[in-house]
Every structure is written in C-alpha cells, then in structure tokens.
Chains A and B, each alone.
Chain A
C-alpha cells in the first residue's frame, strides 16, 4: 500500500481533486484567504470522554475556560445608540453590554453593588438612561459610575467613587462585541493571531445584519454539539439529500494558532462517494442552497462541456445580487457557493460565505452539562442604500421542536440542522454508556475537533 509511505496526517481522499484544485478551476478567482492551507498533524490519541459527561469537568470549564476566553456577546447593531444594552450570560455569569459613547462599548457585571440583584433581566435587551436596581433603587450612570443611593445618610461607608460597576474587557471586531472576564488575557488580535485576523478583517461582516435569529436547547454537552458541525465526514450518512453535490470526503481542514480553525467544503461538484454514478446534469438538478427560493424558475439545462459548479456560481451571483440588492460581481465563485466554516474558540462559528451566511453560538445551560443552548444567526449584507434594518429578534425553540418550526427558517436548511442535532442525545448517552474511555478521530477530516479539544485542555489544565 503506497499510503503507508505517507507521514501521519498526510493522507487525503485518494484519486479525487483537492478543494484547492476544485476552486482553482473557477471562473471568478478566489482571494488568498480561500486559496491557502494550514493543516498540521496534532497526534492520533483518543480524546477522553470525561469532558462531555462529567459535571465536575463542566465546573472546571467555568472556573478556567469561560472566565479566561474572548466570547461573542452581541453584535454592535444590537446596541446602536448610547444607552442601548444587551444582556449576555454564560453559566451563572451575566453582563450588561452597553454603548457608552459612539465608539465605546462596556460590559458590566450584571449585579447590584448593594445586595446583588441583577440590574437587568437575563435574555433581554433595551435602552437605558440609567441602570436602576429594581429593589431599593441604587442607580448607576450608563458609563458605569454610581449616581444615587437612597438614604445615603445610612451609607457613610459607601464611597461613590469606589462603587462604579465592575467591568469585563471589551473589544470590537467586524461588527461583533467580544468580552473577556480575564484582566490578563491577550488582546483579541493576539488571541486570534495574525493569519486568522487577516481572514476575519477581509470578510466585511461589519456590513451585514441579523436577518434571522433562531435558538434551541440541545440535549447534549456544548462541545459535543459544536463538534457535530466541525467536519464534513458525517454528510454521507447524516445528510443523504445533499451529499451528491458536496465535495465532502475531499473538503479542506485548517488550523490557526490555538483559537481558530476552519473547513472549506465545496459545493456543486460530485461527492467522491458518488463518483461515476451521477452526471454533471444530475449534480445541478439536485443542488439546493440555503435559500432555495432565489433559484426558482432558473434554467437548469447544462450546455456541452459546462460544469454544474460554474452554472451554480453564475446563477447564484445573479440571484443573490438581486435578492440582497448588493454588487457581487467581484465576489469569487467559491465565496458564493462553498461552505466556509470557522470556529472561533470557545463557542462561535463564523460562516463568511454568501449562500451560507450564518453565525452559530453555543453555550452550556447553567447547572446542566448535558444541555446546551444553540443559536443560529443568518447574516445578510446591509442593503445598498446603507439603511441597516433592525436585527431580528430571537425565535426560541424547545428541545423537541424541529428547526423548521421557526418562522424565519428555510425548510431545507431547517431539515439539515435537525439532522445535525437529532443524533446528539444518542451520542451523549452513548458516551455515558461506553466501555471505551475516549473517542477516536480521523487524522485529517476530524482535525478541527482535536484542535478544539486540545485548546479546551490547555485552559482546563492550567
């Protein structure tokens, strides 16, 4: 076997074009952030299951991981005006993220300095001229300085200048508000590293807005749930309806420093699993996109020598330009078509593509390491007239509802998310029932999971 001559992690789907070879044939060429590769072999040992099934491990994550990492708290568009605020919770922690000046956002620990009452309810947003505690009325200015204590004659020991609301750190990037509880954490730029930062800065996500926001409780550990989205290896078994036109076994996987990884999964080409069984015309016929309605009525007959992928890219360029009222003439075929999935440690996915324009966020449910709160944001470009629509409000689904039940969810995409999450309870329970103390990972296709868990280990063990 010639494969045995390869170093560990160097094997790729045999006899198939790489993602880069697929993209290199496109008419409108892809930018450097798409055409680069950054895979590294990171070992092939099993990954211990305690991280998924042990409540003590979850507590260590609160103490050492959530308390020291940069987290996407809200979008800037949630808080456009001074005094607008958004409450971000992680476990028992809660923060009031508020705009204190046109170019300044702060995050206050959401607890009264008197007897502790939350100043704003969790899961809400709004606008404030002051933050006033509902219990006895202690009041803070929007900038966090203390304004008022009722009967201050009774509190001679309260020095107002020492009673400003404590703050977490805040950094703004690409329209996202990131917060970090750790005063000693690296800056956001150091945390992502130069390569990943340059990718994020090229996407222009600051010029998108939240057109839909769907959330659901998933009955599995937050990391297990995230990992269901980190590889295309599951597509053949889990998503048979889309597997024909997805370069699944030849998707590309990359890691950047400790905190960012990605895959590129090309669409509009026949899957290696289906090679020889489908023509280019078949691929085109069964191709669907996140929002299939944009393709209704399109001519789907290929000319001699024309590829399904090129036709799809051309069609989507036209349809999405119209639908979003934006100029996409210079956007590459790959960015229009392909699935670009980035994990930003610890709990966010960014999808900078055009046809699959999502952001995912995952958070453990406080007090239950076997449940997580999964949010899907769909991000559309701000219309050409520059008027930013209000961000969509959250549509919350319970554990047993289908994603298709959310009013703003496209049925085809909702069905994919259902498939992605329906197996998770079985996986959670299976790990708890298993005789095997670790999970086993593929060297290439599952590198994002290994990379992610190694970073989890770095935080939890230090």
Chain B
C-alpha cells in the first residue's frame, strides 16, 4: 500500500511551539510545530503505549509526560530509557493552508 498524503488539520491549528493529535486511518498521529518546522510522529509512546500528546518539546525532542522517555522528532529514535524502540515518523507537508500527513 502506498502512503498517501491526507488532510490532517488547518495550518492555524498548530502554531509555532504548538502541537495537535488526531487520527489518520485510525492511527494516532501527533503533529508538532517547533524550531520553525512541522514534524509528524506517532502519538503513542513505544515504551508502554501512553499518549505523548501532553509531552514537553525541547530541542526537537518530545518527552513522554508519564514515564519520561524521550524521542527525536525528526527520526523517531528513542533517546533514553525507559524506551528502547523508536516511534514512527511520518512525512508532513502544507498544501493550501492544510497540514497533510502521509501515514
């Protein structure tokens, strides 16, 4: 199955330093606007399946609010324990004032 870009939300819904979670084909996706760029990653932590949505973003990393695992938003790489596996990352683009994500 080829990945197709789908509308996620309006660009205004994710301002600088903002983030927004939603589902794309049933998959929970988190879009983050940081350092002047949009990132789309899985909204679920690879450690114990908690939502990352409320996690703090700093230096292009998101921290799981519950157990403190950290992930690189660009690559999905797990940066510290308790996570050892990456989270999925998705292509993201802006078309006609819409954020689109390919899941």
Contact = CB atoms under 8 A, between A and B. Distances in A.
Contact of B66 (A123, A132, A393): A132
B98 to A, nearest CB: 29
Nearest to B64: A126
Interface in B32-77: 47-48, 54-56, 58-59, 61, 63-70
Interface size, B (range) = 10 to 19
Nearest to A81: B56
B58 A124 contact: no
A393 B59 CA distance: 7
Nearest to B63: A126
A121 B83 CA distance: 10
Given A129-B65, A134-B82, A393-B58, A124 B47 contact: no
B80 interface: yes
B23 to A, nearest CB: 23
Interface of A is mostly: loop
Contacts of B69: 121
Contacts of A127: 55-56, 63, 65
A46 interface: no
Output the residue of A84, A121, A126, A134 with the most chain B CB within 10 A: A126
Interface in A117-132: 119-121, 123-130, 132
A390 interface: yes
B82 A126 contact: no
B81 interface: yes
Contacts of B47: 134
Interface size, A (range) = 10 to 19
B53 to A, nearest CB: 12
Contact of A121 (B48, B55, B56, B81): B81
B70 A129 contact: no
B82 A124 contact: no
A289 B68 CA distance: 39
A128 B70 CA distance: 13
A134 B68 CA distance: 9
Given A126-B63, A134-B48, A134-B82, A120 B54 contact: no
Contact of B58 (A119, A120, A123, A390): A390
A124 B48 contact: no
Contacts of A390: 58-59
B81 A126 contact: no
Nearest to B17: A390
Interface string A222-246: 0000000000000000000000000
A84 B57 CA distance: 11
Interface in A278-325: none
Given A121-B69, A134-B67, 12 more contacts: A119-B68, A124-B63, A124-B70, A124-B80, A126-B56, A126-B70, A127-B63, A128-B68, A129-B54, A134-B48, A390-B58, A390-B59
5 contacts: A121-B82, A126-B64, A129-B65, A134-B48, A393-B61
Interface of B: 47-48, 54-56, 58-59, 61, 63-70, 80-82
